[in-house]
Amino acid sequence: MSNDTYTLSSIEEALSRTDYPGRGIIIGRSPDGSNAMTAYFIMGRSENSKNRVFREEGEDVVIYPYDYSKVEDPSLIIYSPVRRLGGRLIVTNGDQTDTIFDHLAGGGDFREALRTRTFEPDRPNWTPRISGILNFEGADLKGDFTYEMSILKSINAEGTGCARFFYEYPSVPGLGHFIHTYEENGEPIPTFRGEPERVLMPEDLESFAKAVWESLDEDKKISMYACVIDLGTGERTSELINKNV
C-alpha cells in the first residue's frame, strides 16, 4: 500500500477540492530556495463579508470596507491580516494579528499569544482563527527562516470550548503549507480538519499569486495578498488583488 504522507499537491489542486475554503494562509519556500513566500486570501457569501478590500499601509496589510454605507457588523471583517515586527512577519485571519504583535513586542511568543484567544463568536459556524508567522534569522528579513501555523477551533457544535493546534516547520525549498478556515460550503459551514496541507510552491510571485487567485471560486472570492521575500537581501515584493475595485 502506498504512503501519501509526503505527497505534494499543487496550489491549484489543493484549492480545487472545495469551492469554499473561506480564508486561507499559505507559507513556504521557493523551489530554488532563494525566497520566503506567503499568501492570504478571503472569501465570503454574505453582502457584509463581500464588502471588503485589502490595502497596503507601509509593511502591513489592512482590510477596509469597500462601501462604508453597507457595513453591518465590522467586528469580524475589519482587521490587519499582515503585520511585520522586526524579523517576523505575522499573517492571520482576524484581529489576533494584533494580539500576536503585542505579545512579541512584549517579549512573548506566538503560542503564548494565541492561548489568550479562541475561535470567532459567529454562531453556529464558530469560524476558526488561523494564524501563521515567518521567523527570520535577521531583523531585516535576511537569512534562513522557519515558520509556524495555528488553528483555534470549537471543540463542539455548541461552542463550549476551544481546541488549539500549533505546527512548526523548517523552510524547505519547494515545500509550503496551506491552512484554511472551512472544509467546504454548508449550513453551518464545516470547520477545517486535519493538519495544514502540503503544497508545491511556485517559482515566483507572479505564478504564486495567479495560482491562488485563479483557483478561488469566482462568485465568492474577495481579496488576496501574496509576497516573496529575498532571503539574501531581505527585499519584499508583493501583489495585491481586490475583486472590488
Supply the pTM of this predicted model.
0.96
Residue 189 has pLDDT above 60, yes or no: yes
Query: In the predicted model, what is the mean pLDDT of residues 207-219?
Result: 98
Residue 5 has pLDDT above 80, yes or no: no
Cis peptide before 190 (omega within 30 of 0): no
The x, y and z cell numbers of residue 128, run together, are 476558526
Residue 213 makes CB contacts below 8 A (sequence gap 6+) with 41, 221, 224, 241
The pLDDT assigned to 48 comes to 86
Q: Name the average pLDDT for the chain.
A: 95
Are the C-beta atoms of 33 and 40 separated by less than 8 Å?
no
Long-range CB pairs of 97-102, under 8 A, 24+ apart, other chains included = 97/131, 100/131, 100/133
Core vs surface per residue 142-154: b (16+ CB within 10 A) or e? beebebbbbbbbb
pLDDT digits (tens, 9 = 90+) for 69-78: 888 777 777 8
Query: In the predicted model, what is the mean pLDDT of residues 105-110?
Result: 98
Beta bridge partner(s), residue 240 = 225
Residue 154 has pLDDT above 70, yes or no: yes
Residue 1 has pLDDT above 50, yes or no: no
Residue 117 has pLDDT above 60, yes or no: yes
The pLDDT assigned to 3 comes to 53
Indicate left, alpha or beta for 22 from its phi (over 0: left) and psi (-120 to 50: alpha). Answer: left
- Lowest average pLDDT, out of 33-47, 61-75, 77-91, 99-113, goes to 61-75
**Phi and psi torsions of 112, nearest 5°:** -55, -40
DSSP structural state of residue 191: B
The residue behind cell 523548517 is 170
The pLDDT assigned to 2 comes to 41
